[in-house]
Chain A
Amino acid sequence: MLKIQNLHVRVAGREILKGLSLEVAAGEVCAIMGPNGAGKSTLGYVLAGRDGYEVTSGSVTFEGRDLFGLAPEERAAAGLFLAFQYPVEIPGVNNTYFLRAALNAQRKARGEPEVDAVQFLKLVRSKLEVLHLKDELLHRGVNEGFSGGEKKRNEIFQLAVLEPRLAILDETDSGLDIDALRTVAEGVNALRSPSRAFIVITHYQRLLEYIRPDAVMVLADGRIVERGGPELAEQLEAHGYAWVRDRIAPAASAAATAQ
């Protein structure tokens, strides 16, 4: 479904991704873990098409199409979804109105019929329950005055309504207490299907106890440095990221320890 080959990305003149390669197949949940500053969020943003991320080499294909040839909204219509680490507050834009406009814009782009207000409301009600989101939040501005947890749940709610082919969750667990974490994980698990893939970007193993990944990748210094199954996440949790650093550049690490 997603194929990233030797991706190099610069942000504000600094190289952040330095030859990242990754493949995610339909139905797969791929966790990407890594220390702060490894380039995890950059990966999410560059896939979603944010301005200011300069691809200097490498390629990304999404279901066979060159992702970088598409505008952000075209990527969304093609089925790519980024759950933001920091969802943006947009006062004055009604949450429900926005989501229906987004859904219909995507459907229109795919040549599907638009969803009317009644159908949409039905869809929304069914998804709200799963995420234990208050009805009242729908009538507010997009993320306006939402708590940290409500913002993250709203991201997953949008994911549930938009039903993308590939969902990238960028540190969706950060700032969540254990109950909210469980709710979010339940929401994600309910959406797992053989035709949908997930990239779960996280700093901690905690989320992966609730969302069992098929593959775990370790991203450090702009590259994938380790690949494994769920057990890799547990090893990381036990040994910390220093353990990864040893494995990337043992000589440098040894030198640092010697000093």
Chain B
Amino acid sequence: MTDIPSLIPQRPPILMVDGYFFEDELHCQSELTIAADNMFLGEDSCMAEEGLLEHVAQTSAAHIGFLRKQAGENVTLGYIGDIKKAVFDNRMPTTGDTLHTRLTVVSQVGGITMVSAETSVNEHVILTCRMKLASDN
């Protein structure tokens, strides 16, 4: 478990990871417990699908940030380049639920990282997707 703001440049109100767990260079896990004031909660108190995607993007950013720090480099800004094959469950999480994400790095060339991710709540998968991220040098 690592201090998240030391790994990623995002700050409230759009901080969408509160736990990062390094496994190896190609794998990590993350968590987010949804607070009542989360900006992605809708009028129905459910999280918007885009909130889950941002959580996955910030999980990737945390992993990239962790590896950069290990290599003695600075944490830089990153951007979503594309999202592919995202499939959402028909029930979205709500306040108090904890998102749990498993992330696999599929490839990394220069500043471009491809990942695949699976996000679940209480072992129930609510999102699978692939994402390409671009990082500043």
A, B co-complexed = no
Binding site for A on B (CB under 8 A): none
